[in-house]
Chain A
Amino acid sequence: MNRILLVCATLAALVAPPLAAETVAITGATVHTVTNQGVIEGATVVVRDGRIVAVGTDVRVPGGARVIDARGRMLTPGFFDAWSHIGIVEISGVSGTNDTGVDDTRLSASFNVADAINPRSALIPVNRIEGVTRTLVVPQARSHLIAGQALVMDLGGRPDSIVPGPAAIIVHLGERGSELSGGSRAAAMLRLREVLQDARDYGRNRSAYERGSRRDYAASRLDLEALQPLLAGRIPMVAAVNRASDIEALLRLQREFDLRVIVFGGAEAWVVADQLAAADVAVIVDPLTNLPGNFDMLAATDRNAARLHAAGVTVVFATADSHNARNLRQSAGNAVARGLPWDAALAAVTVNAARVLGLDDVGTIAVGQVADLVIWDADPFELSSWPEAVFIGGVQVPMTSRQTELRDRYLPRDRTLPHAY
């Protein structure tokens, strides 16, 4: 009888997902809080007005709450893919649908894609029904080593899913920075230093600049303005860089300008793990990267994440694959298979992404946190597991996408009319 109730309760939860935040009580799950509370067996989690308001085994279910019986299930925070173009690309090869980059050297740090993001993108349902609830939307560097501003977006598909203020400034070093800076990575660092110095000078002398009595700067006014939060330490620089020596050059820059810095890619980050840990620089990695794709990555290894973690570096995962951000959990499982502790892998796809980007109120299951939650039928990293329910900001998402509709249309069955009917 209980099994039937469990199935019915689960189905009921799925059949009519509400569009507005409601009071929900998820009961009986194994809750992975990703805090120092650890894992709580058979806990109740209460969500109200988009936030988690209670977590524990002795929590009372509020009257009027919709109850989801999650016995035998695992509850985790929603997964955060820390580097994607979700919302600014539909089909990568179709330029009209691809707003990730600009061919304009005048537009660098100020390139903010908020106005380009499409909350109705087909990529959003495809990824969120598999547990991805939030992402860092990054611009592509097409003409300048400073690609622009990265934004945090939840996959709820609402206009307010996008946090319009910049979450980070994206910079490309290494071979890519070299390409964009005339042919040497030394020139890339030189240009970066120059623009940071100019931005600092501009920030201290705005009125003189407006009067036209400041020297010429290496960047436009908009770009100089966009660099102010970086210089003030309010937002980090996320530098796409792989080679160990380039990471060391980045750390020198970090010290020089007292910046918050995060490494993206970091194929050789493990080689300088101690320096990264000492500098409190987090690394966003794709755990599957283990081939020397170019000479910046000769020491690439799938043990990168485990080695960084063992050295005390905060490790964050990303797929860098907007269409398949949903495979983030497979990446995490692979990192575990190559030596990263399971809990560290869970943190790498949840709280670590949030915290390194300055978000304190999402990424864990704790009172006050935004209710990004996923109920899994088993270990989320296992390929046979599946999400049974996904909440973004306390709103349960419909478990449908363009792909589920295609699947339903083409599952083998007898038909008398063409598929289009």
Chain B
Amino acid sequence: MKLPSLPVAVALIAIACPAAASGPFESTYTPLPSEPVMIQNATILTGTGTRLDTADVLMRNGVIEAVGQDLDVPEGVQVIDGTGRWITPGIIDNHSHLGVYPSPSIDAHSDGNEMTSPNTAEVWAEHSVWPQDPGFIRALEAGVTTLAVLPGSANLFGGRISTLRNVPGRGYQDMLFPDAPHGLKMACGENPKRVYGQGRRSAPMTRMGNVAGYRNAWIRAADYQRRLNEYQAEIEAGEEATPPTRDLQLETLAGVLRGEILVHNHCYRADEMLVMLDVAEEFGYSISSFHHAVESYKIADRLAEAGVCSSMWADWWGFKIEAWDGIRENAAIVEASGACAIIHSDSDVGIQRLNQEAAKALAAGQRAGLPVTPEIAIQWITLNPARSLGIDDRTGSIEAGKFADVVIWDRYPFSVYARPQVVFIDGARAYDVADPERQPRTDFELGLSAIGGAR
């Protein structure tokens, strides 16, 4: 039996194995140094739909060791008095363009949309990430411990999405969430057809052109996967075989078809979401989450059946006609219908107050008489986005065994006045309002004191 040559074998592994597991572009993330910590007597929203009063959290070796009332304090553990404080899981934003559309927002930094073709599944957003974006630190100060960085929505297929730990680094790989699956950004609706059809008189020009664009791409991807499968079978049978030529675009799409890459589909209108569900069904893949999903409330029952998350704003509307029907009760209606509800930001300003955005959606739902509570609403910005990113087994809730991604708030976290006091990532104080040595600033923020502008 002839074995494939080493370069071919490496290429095969890269094609056939989960993208982030090995090889180049792997995570070099190292948790910050941490000490064992017990927070005592706090009010805890666990992210599992539960609120614990006068409760404790023990964090050691980067994980949550225990959560409950009257926990024993092991030796050598630093105790933080949580009286009057609220604890939540670290906030997770599953729709950010930090780093790819960083501050300052200038042409040279415009790296979020590879607007050269409606299908750029070959690009990876992480390759555009500038870790010196001050927006990352503003988000950290606001309690965001994990975020997904997405390509924009100019294209039918925008490129790969990556999940980052919100800890500063010199390269994006230092921030990459270890072994998190990649996502694929897709977009339906107005943007692709405006950029290409209206802007360049090229396909797609219509919504039907959008859909044909997805379907044609999936057909090619399915064919590519078939050739990969054939090659794999030939190798296993000991035959001489030539691998298919490596194709970055088809690699990404085939990864979706194999269930390894999670689809995040920007889509506003209810009817278009139903079409995208059918496209997914035709080619046998699942949509992890619709994004923006301004009209999810109109089809919440169908979304619940399909098991698809909706990542929404609390109240953005009216900037495009596909956003004309936005209502405040969107998230609550989705939740009340048994579907997965997520509040996302899509904004370097909004990411700094996801707790407030969730608060607005919670309040609107309660006013409308829907059965939503703070312990449910916290999931919209913690466990549910974690689930949509395929990392809910590791983070997103305060449960024993999960990463110690925890925020200590100075008060009820859904108050407009609430501020994080300490933000733990992997059990380390990534941000501490009382410790200047745990208040990072990126390179771009240096020099302001010299010009009289120190923050």
Contact = CB atoms under 8 A, between A and B. Distances in A.
Given A91-B318, A403-B327, A407-B327, A386 B367 contact: yes
Contacts of A324: 315-317
Interface stretch (A26-34, A196-204, A331-339, A348-356): A331-339
Interface string B65-95: 0000000000000000000000000000000
Given A123-B318, A298-B453, A381 B134 contact: no
Contact of B448 (A299, A336, A403): A299
Interface string A313-344: 00000000011101100100110110000000
A293 interface: yes
A337 B348 contact: no
B329 A323 contact: no
B402 interface: no
B317 to A, nearest CB: 6
B455 A303 contact: yes
Contacts of A90: 318
A98 to B, nearest CB: 11
Contacts of B362: 384
Interface string B89-112: 000000000000001111000000
A292 interface: yes
A85 to B, nearest CB: 11
Given A92-B319, A327-B315, A383-B415, A294 B106 contact: yes
A81 interface: no
A386 B329 CA distance: 14
Nearest to A329: B416
A231 interface: no
Nearest to B418: A337
Interface stretch (B25-33, B116-124, B284-292, B352-360): B352-360
Contacts of B337: 412
B363 A298 contact: no
Interface in B325-341: 325-329, 333, 336-337
A382 B319 CA distance: 26
A292 B333 CA distance: 36
Given A91-B319, A323-B318, A382-B415, A291 B356 contact: no
Contacts of A294: 104-106
Given A291-B134, A291-B348, A411 B329 contact: yes
Contacts of B415: 382-383
Contacts of A123: 318
B328 A403 contact: yes
Contacts of B321: 91, 93-94
A14 interface: no
B452 A334 contact: no
B15 interface: no
A419 B327 contact: no
Nearest to B105: A293
A271 B317 contact: no
Interface string A278-310: 000000000011111111011101010000000
A383 B359 contact: yes
A268 interface: yes
Nearest to A410: B297
Contacts of B353: 288, 334
Given A93-B319, A383-B414, A292 B104 contact: yes
A interface, by DSSP: helix, strand, loop or mixed? loop
Contacts of B348: 291
B2 interface: no
Given A290-B138, A294-B106, A334 B319 contact: no
Interface in B438-452: 444-445, 448, 451-452
A384 B359 contact: yes
Contacts of B366: 384
A91, A268, A324, A410 interface centre (most CB from chain B within 10 Å): A410
B329 A291 contact: no
Nearest to B449: A299
A301 to B, nearest CB: 5
B132 to A, nearest CB: 11
Nearest to A300: B455
B165 interface: no
Interface in B271-322: 297-298, 300-301, 315-321
Interface in B359-394: 359-360, 362-363, 366-370
Contacts of A298: 104, 448, 451, 453
Contacts of A337: 416-419
A244 interface: yes
B414 A295 contact: no
B419 to A, nearest CB: 6
A419 B363 CA distance: 25
A337 B368 CA distance: 28
B135 interface: yes
B329 A407 contact: yes
A155 B345 CA distance: 29
A382 B356 CA distance: 10
A158 to B, nearest CB: 22
Nearest to A123: B318
Given A292-B134, A411-B368, A383 B360 contact: yes
Contact of A406 (B301, B325, B370, B451): B325
B320 A91 contact: yes
B103 A291 contact: yes
A271 B333 contact: no
A336 B349 contact: no
Interface string A96-131: 000000000000000000000000001100000000
Interface in A231-251: 244
Contacts of A244: 452-453
B104 A299 contact: no
Given A291-B348, A298-B453, A333-B416, A92 B104 contact: no
Nearest to B349: A288
Nearest to A403: B327
Interface string B402-438: 0000000000001111110000000000000000000
A151 to B, nearest CB: 21
A330 B454 CA distance: 26
B455 A299 contact: yes
B356 A330 contact: yes
A289 B348 CA distance: 10
A290 B368 CA distance: 33
Contacts of A334: 353, 356, 416
Nearest to A290: B138
B326 A403 contact: yes
B98 to A, nearest CB: 10
Interface in A207-255: 244
B298 A410 contact: yes
A291 B349 contact: yes
A92 B320 CA distance: 6
A93 B318 CA distance: 9
A385 B364 CA distance: 10
Contacts of A326: 315
Nearest to B300: A412
B153 to A, nearest CB: 13
A384 B105 contact: no
8 contacts: A92-B319, A244-B453, A291-B103, A292-B444, A301-B455, A384-B362, A407-B327, A412-B336
Given A293-B105, A322-B318, A336-B416, 5 more contacts: A291-B348, A299-B453, A323-B316, A330-B356, A384-B414
Interface of A: 90-94, 122-123, 244, 268, 271, 288-295, 297-299, 301, 303, 322-324, 326-327, 330, 333-334, 336-337, 381-386, 403, 406-407, 410-412, 419
